[in-house]
Amino acid sequence: MDSLIVSTTKHKYPIIIDFNLFNKKDLFNFLQIQSQVMIVTNKIIFDLYFQQLAELLNIIGINYNYILIPEGEQYKNLKTLNIIFTKLIQKKCNRDSILIALGGGVIGDLTGLAASLYQRGIRFIQIPTTLLAQVDASIGGKTAVNHILGKNMIGSFYQPISVLINLSCLCSLSKRELSAGIAEIIKYSIIFDKDFFYWLELNIQNILNLEPISIKYCVFKCCELKAKIVEKDEYENNQRALLNLGHTFGHAIETEVGYGTWLHGEAISVGIILSSLISEELQLFKHKETIRIINLLKMCNLPIKCPNNINIKNFLKHILVDKKVYNNNVRIIIPINIGKAIIFNKINTDIIITSFNRLQNLKI
């Protein structure tokens, strides 16, 4: 069982990573017997894993209930958040209660935001079941819901008390969901670690096949990279913004096509390529490196172009309401080498348009 600690100015919590984690009888020993636990999940995840968690909670005598919410990005909204609040009030949950997010990024975001707001803040635990959530969404305390006009526009920074990563859950994912998670892994390598990128080029098939040694190394590596930057910049005032490589454009795609139509990682894949093309236009990135990124994303069966029905006018409209726009200046993350990215302020929209057109006309 591997572990690491996320330590911010005010918070400190463990990330536990292993296969068959739900077979560990002492998994919840850090909870106090008088704790009241509410598990937030959806029907699909409930059928797969709830009974195993319930048995572990029974071993130490924890009182628990559960909330089932609808499955899918299109339900990451205030209406679903209110479902959680209603159940918490009905079950007389108080400030000593603990929420458990059992599921992917949508469930993690909703549960974290609910925990941050209910009675002005209660504790919560992340148990991510998708690759994307395990390597990214469950770590660092970003919580949010979507608005019809923009993704993740309503949220807070709120750290969990523990992140429990059961790698065995990845076996239940579809190939599409697995690939979407790998987009975030590739993102980490482009931003922070060229050697990791080279390793991915050589081992990507092992990851797609869920080869145990490769997938455990990969998840731990991403968690380690994210933990380090969260510790330095918990509230994204500076360097944590680098983790948004591809996200301004990816969020624009998700908003335009409708939440849930494209998976988050699929939109981020295209966003990363567009960011690379913009960096080329700024003469900060070599085209041969963009090609390497495209080839790696293609090996994961990820999209490399925007949907054909997205026009540049609507695309720009969504970009301009993104959280990373300051004083009407578009701030984006661009790679300058594989393994190094920068925050670029005041990007000219003409460069975005030129790069968008190049993206849509790629012949690869």
So which residues are the catalytic ones? 120, 142, 184, 226, 236, 240, 244, 247, 251, 264
Q: What is the phi/psi pair of residue 83, to 5°?
A: -60, -40
Name the nearest CA neighbour of 310 among 318, 302, 301.
318
Q: What DSSP character marks residue 46?
A: I
The answer to whether the beta carbons of residues 241 and 251 sit under 8 Å apart is: no
Cα-to-chain-centroid distance, residue 224? 15
Which residues have C-beta within 8 Å of that of residue 231, sequence separation ≥ 6?
6, 7, 8
Residue pair 22/170 in contact by the 8 Å Cβ criterion:
no
Spatial distance between the Cα atoms of 128 and 173, rounded to a whole number of angstroms: 12
DSSP symbols for 239-307: GGGGGGTTHHHHHHHHHHH-BTTB-HHHHHHHHHHHHHHHHHHTT-S-HHHHHHHHHHHHHTT---S--
Name the helix (H) or strand (E) containing 102.
strand 98-103
Residues 6+ apart with CB under 8 A from 247: 268, 271, 324, 333
- Nearest Cα neighbor of 49 from 130, 116, 144 is 130
